[in-house]
Each structure stands twice: as structure tokens, then as C-alpha cells.
Amino acid sequence: MKSRKIILGITGSIAAYKAAVLLRSFIRKGAEVQVVMTDAAREFITPLTLSTLSGRPVVSDFFSRRDGSWHSHVDLGLWADAMLIAPATASTIGKMANGIADNMLVTTYLSCRAPVFVAPAMDLDMFAHPAMQQNLACLRSFGNRIIEPAEGELASHLVGKGRMEEPERIAGILEDFFASCDDLRGKKILVTAGPTHEKIDPVRFIGNYSSGKMGFALAHACALRGAAVELIAGPVSLRAAHPLIRRTDVESASEMQVAAADIFPAMDAAILCAAVADYRPEKPRESKIKREKDDRLTLALVRNDDIAAMLGGMKRAGQVVVGFALETDNGMVHATEKLKRKNLDLIVLNSLQDEGAGFGHDTNRIVMIDRKGEMTPVPLKNKQDVAADIAAKLVTLLK
């Protein structure tokens, strides 16, 4: 963490006292830390304490003097290598999720180009409330990393999930993040994501339930490690915000195949996370099929080309191809067979039988299987953390 620049955001929670421990840990490891705090945070810990520990004046107001000078949230956002908000209250999380920039902390967050880590702290019922979970899901979709709170005794003296993670654990998460920042620098990674839509007529298609969340998380995880990412995305509503990600949008399996074949030769690796349709209508109708004209509709389907097998056959020495297998039964057998048949270097198995995994969820549970037959299980986590584990495995394969 030496010479890394960190914005430490502190909000109005009893857990604000832990921010002093965090700050001291960062400074001891050689980081430069700028504290930004809300008005409510000053009720729990003084700016004097934090300024003394950081060696910098604490920022909490837009205007600290009446001489026309002001604190630039834009400059702060450009300065930082990472931003950590710990503790993050329900109010601040809601403002971040909805772009309500009514204080210095949230305006700095909205201007920050660096990765953002959020450590929630609140009562168990507040944390479990659907509105809070929706806001956290929103922040995750923006690419923020949520440091899950722990279970324990809370300020209300109730016991449950909502206690801010301990400072040592949070410091370790950031230290691991900075350690991995450059291990894919100079590498070019192709990632496919989302479903494909195969036209039946101008208004109907064959598709699947893939949301694209896992593929977009993988693209972001590789970009965070310094890779230049080529993201080929099927029809999804997700946003790829990292500047190292270049996005190509496609609709059908054939369009994704053409794009992948064109991009892959210049890549160091490909992660094929898209849920590509296996079949497409043989003859899509040029006009809308009218229900009243046909009592029964029969579709003749033809097989799409296998993109993973194509790239597995194309790859040159030194290139790495990672595939995915979504199975409902005999997952290990089918995934291992697919790994060999398609000449992949790694296959990521997940199952629709696992609660919280698969299409549409913000979480996933996987098993990574390499060419040597080594299996690495990853427990249920949010998809960003799962993506980070897969990116770490990719680093070892490229070495």
C-alpha cells in the first residue's frame, strides 16, 4: 500500500470510532489518506483526531472559509487510487445509489474514477430491509465493492448482521486489492457476457434468462488488475464503466461468433461467460406471425456454431481460454468433458440446483476445473468477488 492514495469516507455511525483504527493502519503501511466526513460523522469522532492521524486537514464542507476558496470534489476523485466509505450508513448508501449529491462525501464519490469500497454499518433490521438490499444491489451494479457487515452485538444491543467489518479485515481487503492491481497489466482479455437473442420474427426471439452480471463482473475484475478488456455483450441493460473496458454489442450467436473470431487473435486470453443460444430458427419470418392465422406454430431450429470450441481450436501457444458450464445434473462429469472436448484451459462450473447461483442472481457459487483436473470450489459470494477469484486464477494460468 506504500504511496497509494486513499479517500476514507466516514458517515454518522457509532462505528465511526473504527475509522481511526483503519486510518492508522493505512498510514503505517505507507498510504496517503484524505478523510472526507459527513456532518453527522462529526458527532461521533472529531476532525481533530482524524487530522492528527492522517497528517491532512479533514474535508467535510464545500466551503471552509469565506474567501472564495472551496474543496474540489473533482480533484479529490482524480487524486485517489481507491475510495473507502467506512462506516457507511443507510442514509449515505441510499444517496450514493440514487445520486443525491447533497454533501461533500457523496459528491466526491460521484466524481471518483477509482474503485470504491463500501463497508455498511447499521441495525440488523435496517440492513435486511428490501430498500437497503436494493440500494446495495444498485451499488454493486455500478462496480462498487461491498464489504459485507459481520454478525454480532449492535448499538441497539440486538444481535444480528449489520456490524461493520473489523478494521483489520477491511485493511486486508484493500491491501489485497492493491497487490493485485497490476498483475494483468499489459495483457489483453476478451470477455463475452449476457444472452443471445435468435429472431423468430421481427418482434419475437428465442433467448434465455442470462442477465450478463457475471460476465460484466469478470470484465471489471480483469480491468481492475490492469488488463485491456474487450467485452462482447449480448442484449443486456448493464453498463461497463471502467476506462480499460471496450464494449462491442451484439444480438445473435452468429454476431457474437464473428466478433469473437475477429478479436481473439490479438488477445492473451478469453473468458467465455456468455449464455449463447445453442439453436436458432432456420428461417426467421420477415413479418410478424399472426396468432389468429395459425392454431399451432412449428419452428425448425438449426444448431449455432460453438464459439468456445472455435476459440479453443484457434488458440496459439500461450493463449488461455476459459469456458463456463451451467449444469442441472452430473455437473462435474459434463464440465470436465466439455473442458477436454473444447480444448479449454479452465472451466467454471455452476449449477441451477444451487440456491442463489445462476441466472439473475447477484451471487454465485462455482467450481473451477483446470486441465490437470484440479478443482477449486468457491463458496456462495457476490458475483464481483467470484469474478475476482476467477481473475486471480487467470493470472496463474497466464504465468
Q: Give the catalytic positions in this structure.
A: 208
Bridge partner residues of 246 (DSSP)? 230
CA distance 49 to 31: 18
> Exposed e or buried b for every residue in 22-60, given b needs 16+ CB within 10 A?
bbebbbeeebbbbbbbbebbbebbebeebeebbeeebbb
Instruction: Give the pairing of strands 279-281 and 301-303.
Output: antiparallel
Task: Find cell 478469453 and name the residue.
Answer: 270
Distance CA 324, CA 337 (A): 12
- Report yes or no: 135 and 145 within 8 Å, Cβ to Cβ: no
Q: Report the alpha-carbon distance of residue 121 to residue 47 in Å, rounded.
A: 20
200 contacts: CB under 8 Å, gap ≥ 6:
206, 281, 284, 285, 289, 299
Place of cell 461491498: 146
Cα–Cα distance measured from residue 385 to residue 152, given in angstroms and rounded to the nearest whole number: 23
Q: How many CB atoms within 10 Å of residue 180?
A: 17
Amino acid at 30: G
